[in-house]
Amino acid sequence: MANAIPDLWPEIEQSKVVPPVAILREQAAALGNRTGHLLEGRVSTRTDGDGNFIHTFYVVAPTLDNYTYGLFSISHGADTYPVSAPSLEELHLPDYPSTIPIEPLRIRSEKELLDYLRAVLNSEKTMRIVGSLLNQVKSAT
Amino acid sequence: MVKFLYWNTNRKPLYTEICALTRAHDIDVIILSEFADSPASLIEHLNSGGAQDFQYAPGQCERIKIFARFSSTFLTPKAEDDYVSIRQLKLPSRQEILLVAAHLPSKLYQSEDSLALQCPEFARTIMEQEVKVGHQRTLLVGDLNMNPFEKGVVSANGLNAVMSRQVASRKSKTVMSRQYPFFFNPMWAQFGDRQDGPPGTYYYERSELVNYYWNVFDQVMVRPELMDRFDGKKVRIPTKIGETSLLFENGRPNNQDFSDHLPLLFEVEL
């Protein structure tokens, strides 16, 4: 009779790294709180065929028949970092692209992700979209 | 019949040309990308010299501008991002449709693979909105920056857009137990010299081993549910506006005076 095959796993501990999706969901919840829930944040996650997780951050206007604006997407593999994200330059583009190819950013830590999100959420474009939606919501009620 | 004009105007103030095309073809809905001027100025031009009654139908997507010869309240934005504006077109006593207007990133700035990888997300957004409105009478138009044969357009988890009405009439394709709805893409018929029109909508030439020269980046396609109301043979790529040619003498788009893209005309029975 063959010997029992041993369990080779060590003690399994959950990673202490805060996953990017948790940080995004926190920001989504904060948008609802900041706007008295006239606008909500939503994070949708999918996987691509190459084992990457893609998280998209939406601004939702529940009273405008759940109108949604897809603000940005970030992605990462099974390891939560590095995170790939559109460069701030790309996010700030007007209605046509610049003449320089734009490489995605590689975000290597939770701190870098927080800095990135702060910049995106405070950007002129985000403020324009959120402000305009808030105005429409208030005009419609 | 609702008549549409789509044009990537390449940041040129083509007021005269847009107005002339609109009048000559009795256009009801104008969809523009790379329109760098104020919508108010275009409205002023469109409505001057006659009761045209065009309105700007605002949205948050800066790359797309939509104008309509009816109340803009009939073109409600449902979902948008930096590249796409999905509107519900609901005219009184007519069948409502979903109008998806897109100007996807240029291949000059993103690889073909990157573009193709964005299409599943794009397709998923469309499907989410179709579930929300409860039908698939969807029309997609825009500068996809991909040809009809490229992966992002043809792959099942991308736009799943096929060249044949007969294939599209099967409604969907199943791959590994997942169902993907088809689009019928009539733009395949717009390639090359055989058809009555230019060989494409956009000309691009550089020193590479693989070069198509003419591309059909500007496309219109419909879901099978809308095929009976959409005649693919009536899609046109005009090269003249009155006596003015949009082409250089060598037949390529005159990107000095006009746009590097040619416009698209099509109509839908609603």
Quickly state the pLDDT bin for A95 (edges 50, 70, 90).
very low
Rounded mean pLDDT, A59-88? 92
B80 touching chain A per CB within 8 A: yes
Q: Which of A46, A69, A95 sits opposite B34 (nearest CB)?
A: A95
What's the angle, vertex CA B126, arms to CA A73 and CA A55, rounded to 5? 20
For the stretch B112-152, pLDDT in tens is 556 666 788 899 999 999 999 999 999 999 999 999 999 99
- Measured in angstroms, the CA of B47 and the nearest CA of chain A are apart by 25
- The pLDDT of residue B207 is 85
- Measured in angstroms, the CA of A130 and the nearest CA of chain B are apart by 10
Interacting residues of B75 by C-beta distance below 8 A, sequence separation 6+: B29, B57, B66, B68, B87, B88, B89, B99
**Chains A & B: contacts with CB separation below 8 Å:** 54
Rounded mean pLDDT, A80-95? 76
Residue ranges of chain B whose pLDDT lies below 50: none
Q: Which of B60, B110, B115 to probe the A interface (max A CBs under 10 A)?
A: B60
Could you tell me which of A98, A57, A49, A54 has the C-alpha nearest to residue B110? A98
- The pLDDT of residue A17 is 87
**Chain A residues 56-115 with CB within 8 Å of chain B:** 56, 65-71, 73, 91, 93-97, 100-102
- The pLDDT of residue A93 is 54
What's the CA gap between B160 and B115, in Å, rounded?
15
A109 pLDDT higher than 70: yes
- The pLDDT of residue A98 is 44
- The pLDDT of residue A96 is 44
- The pLDDT of residue B251 is 94
A103 pLDDT higher than 80: no
- The pLDDT of residue B98 is 98
A97 pLDDT higher than 80: no
CB contact under 8 A, B80 and A70: yes
**Chain B residues 50-79 with CB within 8 Å of chain A:** 60, 62-63, 76-79
Q: Which of B12, B62, B261 to probe the A interface (max A CBs under 10 A)?
A: B62
Q: ipTM of this complex > 0.95? A: no
- The pLDDT of residue A141 is 73
CB contact under 8 A, B77 and A67: yes
What's the CA gap between B122 and B115, in Å, rounded?
10
What's the CA gap between A86 and B83, in Å, rounded?
14
What's the CA gap between B77 and A61, in Å, rounded?
11
Residue with tokens 């939606």: A133
- The pLDDT of residue B77 is 97
* Cis status of the peptide bond prior to A82, with omega within 30 of 0: yes
